Amino acid sequence: MKLQAVSDDEPRLGRLINIGLPYLWLGLFFLLPFVIVLRISLAEPALTQPPYTALWEWVDGMLEIRLNLRNLQLISEDSLYLQALLNSLWVALVGTLGCLVLGYPMAYAIATAPERQRVPLLMLIILPFWTSFLIRVYAWIGILNANGLLNGFLLWLGVIDEPLKILHTQTAVYIGVIYSYLPFMILPLYANLTRLDRTLLEAAADLGCRPWCAFRRITFPLTLPGVIAGSMLVFIPVVGEFVIPDLLGNPGSLMVGQLMWTEFFANKDWPLAASLAIVLLAILVVPFVIMQRLQQENEMN
């Protein structure tokens, strides 16, 4: 009998590749950029290429470090930035609640549908996602316009006498956000609802709990992780949303994503854009940590 002792090389090499390559990529192209953003947020704009001042310089053999807090000061003092930040958080909050109010019953209805119908119904939720996001947002311009379809329909119904101004208002942004992010709310909720043990509800009913009571006391508490996961998946990216407010929103009340875009492309103030990114990141850390926690707890089970 010929037996070879363990050759650990193969598994060890596999381990190195599995962990190492993605780690290297994400470290280089995801983590490192944030360090650079942080650095440039402390610089000043300049008419150079690239358009910001160096953070340190060798002057007469001495290292000169210039940290510039102009940007942070600007952001905290100019109400334009503060308002944009608040507006972004508000839109994200309304959008998240809107997705929840519409998405929860939908996820519930799909999860309780006969087994054969569930996959097609879910497919229909995911399908719009495969068509261009930009084009789907654009479609709403045609619907919300003063002479668009919604107004035409309402006028025809006789509900209103003259066209409502919906496009280029906050309402349009809310609609756009709910429309675009609804699947992100439904999917985790659906996953959570299908995992729910049906016998718990039967037990609750058996113990004298009526359907609404069963929902309030059993179903909802048990699907809370799904609610939070879905809410974070909507809230976090919406805070930094650019396309929806840019195409549908009121140019008078900007969101922070739009500001970053403008500072960067129009005003060429890269350091200020970087500072806005840092502020935005700092705000998003809390919901992000909540999401991460939840995910890890989920894996424990």
The interface with another protein within residues 98-117 (CB under 8 A) comprises 102-103, 105-106, 108-113
Judged by CB under 8 A, the chain residues 204 through 263 that form the site for another protein are 211, 214, 219, 232-233, 236-237, 239-243, 247, 257, 260-261
- Between 170 and 275, whose beta carbon lies closer to another protein? 275
Token pair 């509800």 is at which residue?
A: 201
Q: Please say whether the beta carbons of 244 and 176 come within 8 A.
A: yes
Among 61-69, 74-82, 97-105, 165-173, which window interacts with another protein (CB under 8 A)?
97-105
- Between 164 and 243, whose beta carbon lies closer to another protein? 243
* 282 in contact with another protein (CB under 8 A): no
- Between 145 and 170, whose beta carbon lies closer to another protein? 145
Spatial CA neighbour of 242 closest among 202, 208, 273: 273
Asked, as a colleague might, if the bond just before 33 is cis with ω within 30 of 0, I would say no
| Number of residues binding to another protein, judged by CB under 8 A | 97
- What proportions of the chain, in percent to the nearest 5, are helix, strand and coil? 75, 5, 25
Least spacing, CB of residue 298 vs another protein, in Å: 11
**Would you state the structure tokens that stand for residue 266, as one six-digit string?**
């129009």
Contact pick of 79, 130, 162, 206 for another protein (by CB under 8 A)? 130
Judged by CB under 8 A, the chain residues 141 through 160 that form the site for another protein are 141-143, 145, 147-149, 152
Rounded to an integer, what distance in angstroms lies between the CA atom of residue 10 and that of residue 256? Answer: 49
* 274 in contact with another protein (CB under 8 A): yes
- Binding mask 58-77 toward another protein (x if CB under 8 A, else -) reads --------------------
* 90 in contact with another protein (CB under 8 A): no
Contact pick of 95, 100, 177, 179 for another protein (by CB under 8 A)? 179
Least spacing, CB of residue 57 vs another protein, in Å: 14
* 170 in contact with another protein (CB under 8 A): no
Tell me the pairing of strands 56-59 and 62-65. Answer: antiparallel
Dihedrals φ, ψ of 114, to 5°?
A: -55, 145
* 21 in contact with another protein (CB under 8 A): yes
282 vs 38, 151, 247, 278, 289, CA distance in Å?
Answer: 11, 41, 27, 6, 11
Residue 59's SS3 state is strand
- Between 81 and 140, whose beta carbon lies closer to another protein? 140
The secondary structure of residue 52, as a DSSP letter, is B
Contact pick of 69, 82, 134, 224 for another protein (by CB under 8 A)? 134
* 182 in contact with another protein (CB under 8 A): yes
Rounded to an integer, what distance in angstroms lies between the CA atom of residue 118 and that of residue 111? Answer: 7
Dihedrals φ, ψ of 52, to 5°?
A: -155, 160
